[in-house]
């Protein structure tokens, strides 16, 4: 039976992330980086597909867990059948702290009360659970597993043996005892590295995370959830390039038993402005600059070839395929790797990139010599193709439309180009851009707005709503006090709302993308609603919804992509960068009284 997403925490080294269950099992880990094949894949299958259980023998009883304050060092208190307790400390130290750049998973079992018999079961499976490695001893305290390009080395003082294609051990701990385990990945053609000292690695990692957290300049209300969201975003950052993955997992379903199961271990351009804002609002200038530079490298080239997403190093080909040997999370098949939406045409990404560059320039980031040339190329391309039909913000795998949000973001791209010339003194055909900006604006008001219902619609000629329309005042397309903004917010609350501020992306009873209907509330859309309500003067409602959204985080402060209110469960890939970006932005907007549009510049 699958573990509920609420029962997972994460550890990570800013290059990959492991999911650790409340009962001491690591059920998902890709090595050596986020998008590598998983060596623990039981999250999408069962224990035979790879997992590492470390818990009291018999039936472990999850008592409590927490992160050390300001860190990604996880401490899980577990009990046994006889009242004894142990603490399992899990961490992946950032690479280079102890020695080279091999990833490590460090686990220490600490006796707390009573004498507890502990059980370890390590099932190593490469290539998403499909490859059983060759396991051999490399000394009295070391095992090595090798298959193809991958090798794992486990070092521990505990006696281990093989059983049913797994490595198992039993040992006892009493109060104050500490038993270490260190699992290290290395390329199979290289000699294994010297194991790190587990105790030293934990303390060094804790100090590293605490030092990073203390750089935050956020001093507003809701400091703890904001800090945890920022730490989560840092954990989802691929440090060598600065790219931030949407989530560290693949194929966690948007509807249990459904087929909306996508790989999110890539970097979406759509996150650009939200990411820059969240990092800069909290004072993380270096991370923001690294993200900006990743963005510029990834999108460089022919504007006609702009993609909606890229690999963590800027890779462009993200071919999608299915893994038939994995049954999927709660039998939600298929399991997919890669993402076929990478070659979709989505007009809004031009607006996202232009908005991010405008924001970076306004907030004083060091200028890039190529940024304006690239922006001019994008704007010239939009002049010729702005009215092309596209797939829209939600990557619908159905027919193309003139999506209202996409056209609004075309306006954003043109508006930011105009403002850059006006405010920064850079050169460009600003009169021509102004005329086209006004033309796009007029078209959206004429064809994307339903006057009878007083609301914008999902696409031209449609009566459906779309939560992305909540961004209209945020990006400055219309002022918050405009009656059409108020009408759109009210319509979305009425027709897409599930209660308590939870919002669907769009109607799913008659799915517009040809897939079976049904999904949970999309949490970022709920944060957009918070921002929109605050902007139109309904701050009490905005605060009430925001406080409710905080209760949907699991016990260690993590959010998935969606939430199913009927079942009271998180859904979708986990943890989700978009959800945590929304939390940080809404906390800032509510706490300061400033509006998202204010951060983008006057009237934009």
pLDDT for res 595: 52
- pLDDT tier, 592 (very low <50, low <70, confident <90, very high otherwise): confident
Mean pLDDT value of segment 440-450? 98
Q: Which of 440, 305, 310, 312 is nearest to 386 (CA)?
A: 440
For 191-205, write each residue's pLDDT tens digit: 999 999 999 999 999
3-state helix, strand, coil in the chain (%, to 5): 35, 25, 40
Give domain 226-600's CATH number out of 3.40.80.10, 3.40.50.720, 1.50.10.10, 1.10.8.60. 1.50.10.10
Sketch the domain layout of the chain as residue ranges: 5-205, 226-600
Contact 24, 31 (CB under 8 A): no
CB of 299 closer than 8 Å to CB of 373: no
Is residue 503 within 8 A of residue 492, CB to CB? The reply is yes
pLDDT digits (tens, 9 = 90+) for 318-371: 999 999 999 999 999 999 999 998 888 889 999 999 999 999 998 888 888 788
Q: Nearest Cα to 470, choosing from 414, 538, 519, 415?
A: 538
Paired with 106 in beta bridges are: 91, 182
First to last CA, the chain: 49
Least confident of 97-106, 230-239, 491-500: 97-106
| Dihedral sign computed on CA atoms, order 553, 555, 557, 562 | negative
Which tens digit of pLDDT belongs to each residue from 500-534? Answer: 999 999 987 654 444 445 678 999 999 999 999 99
Residue-by-residue DSSP string for 403-425: BHHHHHHHHHHHHHHHHHHHHH-
Q: What's residue 603's pLDDT? A: 45
Write down the pLDDT at residue 515. Answer: 42
Mean pLDDT estimate for the chain: 93
Residues 5-205, CATH architecture: Distorted Sandwich (2.70)
pLDDT of 176 reads: 96
Tens of pLDDT, residue by residue over 64-118, are 999 999 999 999 999 999 999 999 999 999 998 777 789 999 999 999 999 999 9
Instruction: Summarize pLDDT for 290-317 with one digit per residue, the tens.
Output: 999 999 899 988 888 899 999 999 999 9
Instruction: Give the pLDDT mean for 59-66.
Output: 88
The answer to whether the predicted template modeling score (pTM) of the entire model surpasses 0.75 is: yes
């Amino acid at each position: 039976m699958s573990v509920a997403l609420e029962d997972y925490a994460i550890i990570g080294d800013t290059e990959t992330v492991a999911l650790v269950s409340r009962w001491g099992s690591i059920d998902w880990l890709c090595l050596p980086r986020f998008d590598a094949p998983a060596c623990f894949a039981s999250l999408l299958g069962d224990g035979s597909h790879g997992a590492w259980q470390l818990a009291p023998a018999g039936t472990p009883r999850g008592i409590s867990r927490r992160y050390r304050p300001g860190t990604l060092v996880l401490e899980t208190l577990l009990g046994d059948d006889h009242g004894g307790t142990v603490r399992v400390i899990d961490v992946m130290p950032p690479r280079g702290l102890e020695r080279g750049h091999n990833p490590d998973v460090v686990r220490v079992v600490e006796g707390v009360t009573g004498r507890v018999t502990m059980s370890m079961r390590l099932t190593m499976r490469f290539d998403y659970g499909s490859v059983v490695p060759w396991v051999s001893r490399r000394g009295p305290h070391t095992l090595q597993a090798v298959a193809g390009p991958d090798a794992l080395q486990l070092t521990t003082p505990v006696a281990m043996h093989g059983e049913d294609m797994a490595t198992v051990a039993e040992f006892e701990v009493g109060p104050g005892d500490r038993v270490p385990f260190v699992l290290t990945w290395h390329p199979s053609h290289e000699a294994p590295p010297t194991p790190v000292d587990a105790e030293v690695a934990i303390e060094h990692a804790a100090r590293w995370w605490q030092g990073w957290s203390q750089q935050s300049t956020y001093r507003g209300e809701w400091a703890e959830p904001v800090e945890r969201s920022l730490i989560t975003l840092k954990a989802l950052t691929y440090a060598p390039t600065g790219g931030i993955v949407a989530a560290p997992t693949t194929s966690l379903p948007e509807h249990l038993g459904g087929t909306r199961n996508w790989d999110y271990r890539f970097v979406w351009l759509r996150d650009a402005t939200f990411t820059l804002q969240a990092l800069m609002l909290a004072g993380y200038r270096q991370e923001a600059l690294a993200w900006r530079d990743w963005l510029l490298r990834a999108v460089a080239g022919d504007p006609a070839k702009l993609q909606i997403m890229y690999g963590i190093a800027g890779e462009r080909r993200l071919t999608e395929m299915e893994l038939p040997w994995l049954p999927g999370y709660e039998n939600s098949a298929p399991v997919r790797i890669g993402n076929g939406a990478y070659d979709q045409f989505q007009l809004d990404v031009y607006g996202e990139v232009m908005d991010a560059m405008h924001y970076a320039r306004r907030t004083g980031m060091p200028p890039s010599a190529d940024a304006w040339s690239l922006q001019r190329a994008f704007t010239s391309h939009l002049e010729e193709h702005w009215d092309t039909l596209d797939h829209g913000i939600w990557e619908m795998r159905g027919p193309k439309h003139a999506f209202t949000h996409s056209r609004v973001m075309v306006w954003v791209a043109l508006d930011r180009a105009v403002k850059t010339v006006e405010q920064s003194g850079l050169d460009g055909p600003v009169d021509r851009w102004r005329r086209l900006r006004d033309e796009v604006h007029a078209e959206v008001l004429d064809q994307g707005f339903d006057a009878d219902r007083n609301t914008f619609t999902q696409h031209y000629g449609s009566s459906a709503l779309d939560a992305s329309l909540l961004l209209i005042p945020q990006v400055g397309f219309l002022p918050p006090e405009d009656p059409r903004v108020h009408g759109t917010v009210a319509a979305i609350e009425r027709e897409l709302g599930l209660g308590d501020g939870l919002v669907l992306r769009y109607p799913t009873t008659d799915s517009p993308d040809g897939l079976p209907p049904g999904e949970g509330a999309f949490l970022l859309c709920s944060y957009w609603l918070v921002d929109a309500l605050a902007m139109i003067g309904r701050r009490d409602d905005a605060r009430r919804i925001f406080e409710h959204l905080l209760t949907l985080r699991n016990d260690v402060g993590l959010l998935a992509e969606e939430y199913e209110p009927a079942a009271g469960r998180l859904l979708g890939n986990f943890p989700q960068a978009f959800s945590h970006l929304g939390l940080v932005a809404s906390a800032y907007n509510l706490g300061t009284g400033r509006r998202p549009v204010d951060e983008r510049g006057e009237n934009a």
